Amino acid sequence: MLEYKAPMRDIEFLVNDLLDYKSHYEALGFEDADPDTVQAILGEAAKFAEEVVGPLNQSGDQEGCKWEDGVVTTPKGFKEAYKQYCEAGWPSLPGAPELGGQGLPASLTMIITEMVGSANWSWSMYPGLSNAATRLLNATGSDEQKELYLKKLISGEWTGTMCLTESHAGSDLGLLRTKATENADGSYNITGTKIFISCGEHDMADNIVHLVLARIEGAPEGTSGISLFVAPKFLLDENGNPGERNSLECGSIEHKMGIKASATCVMNFDSAKGWLVGKPNEGLKGMFHMMNAARVGTATQGVAMAEQGYQGGLAYAKDRLQMRSLTGPKNENGPADPIIVHPDVRRMLLTQKAFSEGNRAFMYWVNQLVDQEVYGNEEVSKEAEAMLDFLTPIAKAFATETGLEVANHGMQLYGGHGFIGEWGMEQVVRDGRIATLYEGTTGIQALDLLGRKVMGSGGALLANFTKVVHKYCKANEGVAEMAEFIEPLAKLNNELGELTGKIGEKAMQNADEVGAASVDYLMYSGYIVLAFMWARMAEVALKDADNGFMKSKIKTAQFYYARLLPRTIAHRDAMLSGSDNLMSLDEELFAF
């Protein structure tokens, strides 16, 4: 069985040495988030992750959630762990103080999400979804709605959900059919069936607050006719406590490849009572904002599964004895050498390490930007928002795609044992596999990046990023020990601009060129972002190069540049090959 240990040394390196969270928090006025407090909070969160939810990860997968007559029972221990989580005050960490929250920065919550999620992703989805619903309601709800629902969501007594998808409307929300009819009292009756509703029903909280997308009778078709509603499982009585049962129900839960302990619900709304959140027909506006946050959260799942895969793989590679090193025995008194002596085993481990730590650094930078966007002054916020517009789809898709690669290397390192449940490695792959699908597939992220963001801004959002990298490279020009990183990074950064120009020109003639290049473009960009992060980590590490941890950072950066960064060439050639090789085959000729 896998045993999660929070990678505190790496987290401290990012928070203290690389990204200087101290100054960052000071600049945003978070006086309570001083380094000692941050350290203490992270230490406690690590304990909770390691000792409370980590041990429930495998049993939760084996047991799964149970559905009976609309009632969902979570696996043994889940409810109790959630109670402990609430009692310790974790749900309220990022909440507004006037509603009972602790007013701590979002970035801190994200580190905790990473730790708790690395220990048990299924479990972490219950508070995770609740947190997303909280933010959405906080951003778009009326004062009365905040008063009614937010306090209990922030305390964790109630949880929340996001009800978007319908069976025929996934990526294309414009097709959704759930209807809302206004009542005389201003409330609405909501009718329709939502699918894939994470944590839509469970036994962990007294009430569940559903945020539901629906179409008000007579609203326009497509995305501009969608409104947002709040519909609680139990309607509130005059004291704001759960009263009468609302006419909405979990019709079934899905049988899934992984995250089996997270209830994925079909939710039937049968004239369920709901109240409009924000203005009519503007439901998607607020939702898109929330989606960005959810995408950063899913990117964190990429980091989580990579960490799990790496921790499991490394432990086994040091322990498992098979064959001798080609350069002579390294464990002469044993029957064979530990497999970590074999170069190809190290190739897999270093690939895991490079993506795991690289994506973590990437995410912690993104989390700082989220802080700046939310809490910074107008100028800071705008600048951060622009950078996030560019980075979010990359973070979501790149961190999950490479996270899956890492998870699969974890299985591969175990040989045949990796396929066996008890070792826990195949669960990492099964649980992680959802991450490139939900919250917008990799393909959807790529269209968002290249179509909506890069082309949509006339290249401005890209230039925003490449300028930062360019400036960084300029600043390190002539630093001899950084040359092995700076030269290729500067070259690729220039190339990214050139490639974008070429694709843009072609796209003016043919709109399909964007879709034809998009995923390769996103992956190419992701490798550059990680090259940027690894150069920065190496730069910091070089200042203390005798230290073992820092030495390890430098070597991993070198590995990344030598063995993973060349993948950019394959992506570049593929995306430049144009749309014709995709579009010219008639649909009926695909198979016979």
Q: Which is nearer to a copy of itself, 178 or 311 (CB)?
A: 311
| 57 belongs to the binding site for a copy of itself (CB under 8 A) | no
Binding-site member from 212, 446, 492, 533 for a copy of itself (CB under 8 A): 446
Q: Residues 188 to 247: which contact a copy of itself by CB under 8 A?
A: 196
Q: Which is nearer to a copy of itself, 333 or 584 (CB)?
A: 584
The count of C-alpha atoms lying within 13 angstroms of the C-alpha of 343, restricted to the half-sphere facing its C-beta, is 3
DSSP 260-314: TTS-EEEEEEEEEEEEEESSTT-HHHHHHHHHHHHHHHHHHHHHHHHHHHHHHHH
List residues bridging with 161 in a β-sheet. 210
Compute the least distance from the CB of residue 40 to a copy of itself, in Å. 20
Q: Which is nearer to a copy of itself, 339 or 386 (CB)?
A: 339
CB 14 within 8 A of CB 364: yes
Q: Which is nearer to a copy of itself, 29 or 174 (CB)?
A: 174
Number of chain residues interacting with a copy of itself (CB under 8 A): 105
C-alpha to C-alpha distances, 286 to 180, 213, 291, 321, 449, nearest whole angstrom: 18, 11, 9, 55, 19
Compute the least distance from the CB of residue 488 to a copy of itself, in Å. 11
Residue range at the interface with a copy of itself (CB under 8 A); choices 138-146, 205-213, 336-344, 490-498? 336-344
Return all residues near 400 (Cβ < 8 A) that are at least 6 apart. Answer: 298, 299, 301, 302, 432, 435, 436, 442
Measured CA angle at 551 (ends 544, 471), to 5 deg: 65
Binding-site member from 211, 340, 370, 492 for a copy of itself (CB under 8 A): 340
Q: Which is nearer to a copy of itself, 253 or 391 (CB)?
A: 253
| 256 belongs to the binding site for a copy of itself (CB under 8 A) | yes
Q: How many CB atoms lie within 10 A of CB 284?
A: 19
Task: Give yes or no: 439 in active site.
Answer: yes
CB 117 within 8 A of CB 180: no
Binding-site member from 279, 347, 471, 491 for a copy of itself (CB under 8 A): 347
Residue range at the interface with a copy of itself (CB under 8 A); choices 34-42, 209-217, 342-350, 533-541? 342-350
Compute the least distance from the CB of residue 124 to a copy of itself, in Å. 17
Compute the least distance from the CB of residue 566 to a copy of itself, in Å. 4
Burial class (CB in 10 A: 0-12, 13-18, 19+), 221: exposed
Q: Residues 72 to 131: which contact a copy of itself by CB under 8 A?
A: none
Tokens for 435, please give them: 């991450």
Tokens for 285, please give them: 């506006």
Q: Which is nearer to a copy of itself, 122 or 579 (CB)?
A: 579
Query: Could you say which DSSP state residue 434 is in?
Result: G
Which of 201, 439, 513, 539 is flagged as catalytic? Answer: 439
Q: Residues 377 to 416: which contact a copy of itself by CB under 8 A?
A: 411-412, 415-416
Tokens for 397, please give them: 């898709």
Binding-site member from 69, 87, 184, 327 for a copy of itself (CB under 8 A): 327
| 428 belongs to the binding site for a copy of itself (CB under 8 A) | no
Compute the least distance from the CB of residue 575 to a copy of itself, in Å. 9
Burial class (CB in 10 A: 0-12, 13-18, 19+), 547: exposed
CB 110 within 8 A of CB 124: no
| 422 belongs to the binding site for a copy of itself (CB under 8 A) | yes
Compute the least distance from the CB of residue 155 to a copy of itself, in Å. 31
Binding-site member from 441, 457, 464, 494 for a copy of itself (CB under 8 A): 441
C-alpha to C-alpha distances, 27 to 15, 23, 30, 110, 563, nearest whole angstrom: 15, 6, 8, 19, 38
Binding-site member from 37, 39, 165, 271 for a copy of itself (CB under 8 A): 165
| 63 belongs to the binding site for a copy of itself (CB under 8 A) | no
Q: Which is nearer to a copy of itself, 98 or 422 (CB)?
A: 422
Q: Which is nearer to a copy of itself, 460 or 570 (CB)?
A: 570
* Binding pattern for the stretch 5-44 against a copy of itself, x by CB under 8 A and - elsewhere: --x-xx----------------------------------
Residue among 366, 353, 365 at smallest CA distance from 295: 366
| 179 belongs to the binding site for a copy of itself (CB under 8 A) | no
CB 432 within 8 A of CB 383: no
Q: Residues 497 to 526: which contact a copy of itself by CB under 8 A?
A: 510-512, 514-516, 518-519
> What CA–CA distance (Å, rounded) separates 108 from 376?
16
Active site residues: 439
